[in-house]
Amino acid sequence: MIPRPGAARERFGTRRLLALALPATVASALEPVAGMVDTAFLGHVDSRWLAAMAVSVAVLSAFTWVFNFLVSGVTAQVAQAVGRGDREELGATILLALIVAAGLGTATGLLLALGSPWLLGTVMGADATLVDLARPYFLLRALGMPLVLVVTALSGVLRGLQRIGLSLAIGALVTTSNVAITWTLLFVWHFGLPGAAIGTVGAFALGAAAGLTLLALLGRGLGLSWHTRIRRRHVFVFGAEAADIVVRTGALLGAFFLTTAVVTRLGERRLAAHQIGLQLWLFSSFFVDGLAIAGNMIVGRLVGAGQLAEARSVGHRLLGAGLFVGAAFAATYGLLRTPIAAVFTRDPMVLDWLWVIWPILALTQPLNALVYVWDGLLFGRRDFAYLRRHMLIGVLLVFVPLLALLGWSRGSLSGVWLALAALNAYRAGSCAARWYGAGRSP
């Protein structure tokens, strides 16, 4: 599993690249499926349940995704340790990631539970009735935060090890169990909106148990044992890179948070349409993100082994694949909008608002795909400081002014989505400049 220093140089031909990229794509596409199913279930029961879930998920996602370093950063760190053949660093990185995930999950869950009225009402702008409806769902999901972050860290570890099949198996377990438990609690036992939260938390509990069992079985081959030591340098490097990723991810999620906060104030129908559009945006992004995952783990491993030319070659091929997939999503969303929308709602007022943002959703897919793949490639190089800096510039100097001008001041749902599209256009330009910049490696 871990090559010896000085081992033969690795080559990633098309077949090997596909063997990693395709399962990574499937595993990544599974991530938003449960959310989409919950959206479809609740949308067909009660549009107010859907609005309550939308407000809750906006807050929960912000606090979950801000810890994205537990998957993207850990993937790169583990992959580079594998590339160097450094078993000590590998074991310390895995153990440290799991400890940090459990600790942050517990602290975050408690803070979310204590601050739920303020977060849902004051920050998100939900009225008192909607807060009362959303709060039980929100509290149950908050208590499951340690499980969510542990599963996130486990995904990063398995991806860095290029054990993508195991990562896919855990993702499939979480997704299928979430759908099954949620459907049973909603339509058989009639638990109402809290049933959707119980289904999600229960699914992550199963995923965490399965992932920790796998690591225990792999054990010593990963440098893990009762004698594994986390040294000061491991903590400093992990912390510095985590800080860059937290700021970068926090800025991005702040943008999504602001969009939902603005749309919440535009009314429940527009909020429901926004939630459906956002689920479709996230579905395509997670699907393409499978290519970014492949770029992260492969480029990370090759950079760790000093094979910079091969890393650049892999990156170029993944960018081409991402552009193709993005164009396919654009065509699918453009040609099949009516049957796709019918999966989520048949409310004519919600559909009217959904059609307003649909052209933006469809046409931005190729651009979005390039952004996600470039992110993965630069993560593999552990170019976290650059990504943090330019995400801040994009959010503060591009997105926020456009959101205020086009969305907030005009009360325009399409203006909100145009601001999101402009942010991704800036991200694409800055990532391209870094990847193709003269004298940069790989």
**Cα dist. 419→63, 91, 186, 287 in Å?**
22, 43, 36, 22
The amino acid present at 61, given as its one-letter code, is S
The parts of the chain modelled with pLDDT lower than 50 are 5-6, 438-439
Q: How far is residue 75's CA from residue 80's CA, in Å, rounded to a whole number?
A: 9
Q: How far is residue 414's CA from residue 363's CA, in Å, rounded to a whole number?
A: 13
pTM above 0.75, yes or no: yes
Predicted local distance difference test score (pLDDT) of residue 409: 74
In degrees and rounded to multiples of 5, residue 176 shows phi and psi of: -65, -40
Residues 6+ apart with CB under 8 A from 210: 169, 170, 173
Predicted local distance difference test score (pLDDT) of residue 417: 93
Q: How far is residue 279's CA from residue 257's CA, in Å, rounded to a whole number?
A: 14
Copy the structure tokens of residue 274. 């926004």
Q: How far is residue 67's CA from residue 245's CA, in Å, rounded to a whole number?
A: 8
The amino acid present at 240, given as its one-letter code, is A
Q: How far is residue 32's CA from residue 35's CA, in Å, rounded to a whole number?
A: 5
Predicted local distance difference test score (pLDDT) of residue 15: 80
> Where would I find the H helices in 31-86?
33-45, 47-65, 72-84
**Burial of residue 130, with CB atoms counted within 10 A of its CB: 0-12 exposed, 13-18 middle, 19 or more buried:** buried
Going by the DSSP 8-state scheme, the letter that residue 161 receives in this structure is T
What are the tens digits of pLDDT across the range 323-371? 999 999 999 999 998 898 888 888 888 888 898 899 999 999 999 999 9
